[in-house]
Structure 1
């Protein structure tokens, strides 16, 4: 390939093999307190970047929600007993942590800065979820607003808030088409079931992220919306013909590549028989080099998804899969385990280089692409001391934008019993799932109940686990009869069992009228089929929850429109 960035080219020429191998690694950092081994990742292994998981104390293994069994054991022996949540910190405090890590990277012989990658798709998919940050709805909620300009503004403000803290590489937007509503991993992470809509709204997101100075990542190539399997726990097979893939899965990628809006793309841990029936796409040269690089003409950085996920790790082994992905054409491997797998991965990649399975010329090209992208986005520049993360998250204009988007995304799908707006003189019980382990004043358990309390003094609370246990079911049945109305959350989150089927039986027997508040438009995963009154909020994050309470009590109008053709019917008459 032709090296046009002289700065990046000269860096590659100066690098040792160890430095080059490190440059293609995104390693994991969970929590807000770096342990000594995190500095080893930077100084000993020369890692190119860290994938940040700010809300957990330690990176955990993937546990199948159906069987309860650990799919891949990647936990490090740290002495930590209570692993749920990291200490709550402010945006400024976390910025200081990242600045210290970046300083360690800049002290390396070539001064190559770290990229700090994270998820910030919207709603509960938010690694930056603390310190009062303004969080927007999931992608499908943005589509529900019907306003691409608002989508651009949401991405721009997400980037501004994040870049002020130190984040600089976001694993978003999701370009998967939500063609299978039972998909337990994609659902509202997709903009729509219409490829043209996905392309348009994702383009707005990419522009906003670019203008805010954060590297965007389209995912999961070639597209894993058409599956009922979660890649965290097994191998999705996207068994569709090439013609369908061209019309559906590949359309957003072709459009955004042509517009120059995708600086990086993430590969799906899935098998696509129409392209390569034998290999998961992450290690398939036919998919990465043949389809994405050569046929679609993509010249940016190609990254893997997490190499500790069940789909890839159980089939190939983590370290081996990392090296195989690079040999197949990936530029960056995302290896989040904070243990001995780091050393094993480095050694395995070097073995691939030594025996020619990963030619040194190809490794050089990978390193160049990564460094050129970092250079393009200003990562080599000194940090702007004037950027105050606290000021960014407190900006009244951003808070107003979050409130506007929340109001315009929420929709009333059914009101067959004419319960809305809820009366303020009736006894109402809010049955609310525990949705967030993080526990600061902005985002914590019970925020829907608290928002409803601001509307009525006659509201009580029953907290439940995300997936009901026996105690939850007993409490719900015992308390429901004592109230005039029920507000019941029926949220769905990947990796959690849904309460939908149990709620169908409960609603069939319960005499107390109920409004279901859910975060997806799909009966297949979150909406009881016999629910007569349904409000859809596309995020369980603070702005959308507050707006949901205002919709329930008639303080504001729900302005959202159903964003998919394969979602819930919005005909109230059909429920009468």
Structure 2
């Protein structure tokens, strides 16, 4: 972050200057900023984990009859796929063993169709002595997990570019309705990270942006919408993953910020979301070096960050999850059981995705019996898990109606909201020479980059270009594309009226983030030679360092029908470009810039 501190000075500006090339209208979101929530303890406007008298009574009576081992088991949330009960019989059997023998508190569920997910979760709930709390990562809407069939939303940074809190709230509501329809009661979201580091390898478009107040406003709206849809929310990655240089899936990430900086930047969205009634916080495997020194533990294992800061100064009363305990950032030189014990001692309540969870449960029980973990700490954590279940209404009913699943997921009205976000987020960063809109009679060479030169990215855009121009040749390239191919493409570019380059670079766990091979240099050389080149990013906005000479640069934020369809309409002039940069692109463009063109 320090490297880009000069650019951060413009965060929160109402208007920013033009990059100095071409006539540009620059606008930013003019909606009011959220009311500042003080750094000191403050009562939330909406309490987390709300339940009624019957729910509270159920929590009390249930906790009173659980053994120590059963209480510990309630804190554990293994991973399962969303495949149906018959699609993977061995996995289903393992899941049922976790339910009936291990008595886990719930599961984190991954990808499967809505019907398969509902069937699997109903079967597990039918076997459980206590209702299971089902959580899932639904960052880009229910369709990211409920596939095919659920509604897929654009990533958070697209909402930042659109700047529309009403759309953020509606996206949260839709996510809640579709998730609850299949038996998911809690989501590990929204992302509250302030993405101030363009080189961050894992957050990127998952963040709403780099302006703390804008991230706070949009994420709080999403929390409110999710609550309206019946979904519990767990914001992440505390105390902030936006200014890190490492992916915590592969190692311990760290932030250098001191406490004053954390209060001013990283914690702003967390305070706002807590004030808005967020139910949980996910503590990341992130070492706060500027607060706890060079030997700082991960936040997920830090009493200072969880007990003193989050519970104490920030007055958070909801549930605290660890990030996944199969991530290497959690287990630097220690076992998963030891990481789990340290997390509980730090103040975490729920242990996410620990490998060999039965062994972890036994290890925690042994630590309690040896006096290392106070029994009161286990009781406190188990009470919060049970309270989350009651807040989701699981003490009344845990199973869903399978006949209602299809109508409740992927409805046309829900997809229309995703389309609206995509359309409002299209950001024309630069257009030197007025290349957009592309003339209908133009001959187009369309080149799509993905790391492996495969996949659907660019397909929707290509179909629209082929239909809306005199002809569009489509070529896929990737990290291993040979130089000879780029040499051939240079010759073909000379025969085209315009070259459109679509680039799909998105953050993926355990993988790097960026361009590889000869692609970036080829685009730069093509633009430097005077060719008419339009780059459309279908993911990360931070690509201009690779080809700063490109005359036109548009951000669509995502792949697929909604984003690529919106980009195509903007390219062909049948739709406008209303978006603004929610992040800076140093040294090229400032936060808030965007060439706004009406339809």
Instruction: Compute the TM-score of the two structures, normalised by the length of structure 1.
Output: 0.84
Aligned 1:27-46 pairs, distance under 5 A: 27-30=78-81, 32=83, 33=88, 34-46=91-103
Matched residues in 1 for 2:219 and 2:553: separation?
A: 28
- Residues 1:366 and 2:394 are matched in the alignment: no
Query: Could you tell me which of 463, 467, 474 is aligned with 1:450?
Result: 463
Aligned 1:94-133 pairs, distance under 5 A: 94-105=117-128, 108=129, 112-122=130-140, 127-128=144-145, 130-133=147-150
Deviations 1:143-178 (A, max 9, x none): 211211111011111221222122221111111111
Matched residues in 2 for 1:387 and 1:247: separation?
A: 49
- The aligned counterpart of 2:12 is none
Given that residues 52 and 127 in structure 1 are in contact (C-alpha distance below 8 angstroms), is that contact kept between their aligned partners in structure 2? no
Count of residues paired in the alignment: 521
Deviations 1:156-211 (A, max 9, x none): 11221222122221111111111222111122222121211111111101001111
What is the deviation of 1:254?
2.2
Give structure 1 stretches of 5+ with no counterpart.
55-88
Matched residues in 1 for 2:594 and 2:109: separation?
A: 44
Q: Are residues 7 and 20 of structure 1, via their aligned partners in 2, closer, same or farther at CA, if it must alter by over 3 Å?
A: same
Query: Could you tell me which of 355, 359, 363 is aligned with 1:348?
Result: 363
Query: Could you tell me which of 488, 491, 509 is aligned with 1:478?
Result: 488
Q: Are residues 308 and 346 of structure 1, via their aligned partners in 2, closer, same or farther at CA, if it must alter by over 3 Å?
A: same
- Residues 1:523 and 2:542 are matched in the alignment: yes
Given that residues 457 and 559 in structure 2 are in contact (C-alpha distance below 8 angstroms), is that contact kept between their aligned partners in structure 1? no
Instruction: Compute the TM-score of the two structures, normalised by the length of structure 2.
Output: 0.80
Aligned 1:396-411 pairs, distance under 5 A: 396-411=412-427
Name the SS of the counterpart of 1:486 in structure 2: strand
Aligned 1:56-67 pairs, distance under 5 A: none
Give structure 2 stretches of 5+ with no counterpart.
1-50
Name the SS of the counterpart of 1:50 in structure 2: strand
Name the SS of the counterpart of 2:536 in structure 1: strand
Given that residues 492 and 526 in structure 1 are in contact (C-alpha distance below 8 angstroms), is that contact kept between their aligned partners in structure 2? no
Q: Are residues 476 and 380 of structure 1, via their aligned partners in 2, closer, same or farther at CA, if it must alter by over 3 Å?
A: farther
- The aligned counterpart of 1:328 is 346
Query: Could you tell me which of 371, 374, 392 is aligned with 1:377?
Result: 392
What is the deviation of 1:408?
0.2
Given that residues 524 and 547 in structure 2 are in contact (C-alpha distance below 8 angstroms), is that contact kept between their aligned partners in structure 1? no
Given that residues 148 and 201 in structure 1 are in contact (C-alpha distance below 8 angstroms), is that contact kept between their aligned partners in structure 2? yes
- Residues 1:188 and 2:205 are matched in the alignment: yes
Matched residues in 2 for 1:488 and 1:434: separation?
A: 11
- The aligned counterpart of 1:264 is 280
Between 1:452-461 and 1:112-121, the stretch displaced more is 452-461
Matched residues in 2 for 1:187 and 1:211: separation?
A: 28
Given that residues 176 and 231 in structure 2 are in contact (C-alpha distance below 8 angstroms), is that contact kept between their aligned partners in structure 1? yes
What is the deviation of 1:265?
0.2
What is the deviation of 1:433?
4.0
What is the deviation of 1:310?
1.8
Between 1:12-21 and 1:197-206, the stretch displaced more is 12-21
Name the SS of the counterpart of 2:401 in structure 1: coil
What is the deviation of 1:231?
1.2
- The aligned counterpart of 1:26 is 77
Matched residues in 2 for 1:167 and 1:475: separation?
A: 47
Query: Could you tell me which of 268, 283, 295 is aligned with 2:301?
Result: 283
Given that residues 520 and 526 in structure 1 are in contact (C-alpha distance below 8 angstroms), is that contact kept between their aligned partners in structure 2? no
Name the SS of the counterpart of 2:236 in structure 1: strand
Q: Are residues 209 and 566 of structure 1, via their aligned partners in 2, closer, same or farther at CA, if it must alter by over 3 Å?
A: same
Given that residues 435 and 445 in structure 1 are in contact (C-alpha distance below 8 angstroms), is that contact kept between their aligned partners in structure 2? no
Given that residues 27 and 335 in structure 1 are in contact (C-alpha distance below 8 angstroms), is that contact kept between their aligned partners in structure 2? yes
- Residues 1:544 and 2:588 are matched in the alignment: no
- Residues 1:429 and 2:456 are matched in the alignment: no
Between 1:208-217 and 1:218-227, the stretch displaced more is 218-227
Given that residues 451 and 546 in structure 1 are in contact (C-alpha distance below 8 angstroms), is that contact kept between their aligned partners in structure 2? yes
Name the SS of the counterpart of 2:139 in structure 1: strand
Deviations 1:124-150 (A, max 9, x none): x96425123222221121121121111
What is the deviation of 1:478?
2.1
Matched residues in 2 for 1:555 and 1:156: separation?
A: 30
Matched residues in 1 for 2:113 and 2:346: separation?
A: 41
- The aligned counterpart of 1:534 is 553
What is the deviation of 1:100?
1.8
What is the deviation of 1:437?
12
Between 1:444-453 and 1:489-498, the stretch displaced more is 444-453
- Residues 1:413 and 2:426 are matched in the alignment: no
Matched residues in 2 for 1:497 and 1:426: separation?
A: 33
Q: Are residues 520 and 438 of structure 1, via their aligned partners in 2, closer, same or farther at CA, if it must alter by over 3 Å?
A: closer
- The aligned counterpart of 2:64 is 13
Matched residues in 2 for 1:524 and 1:516: separation?
A: 9
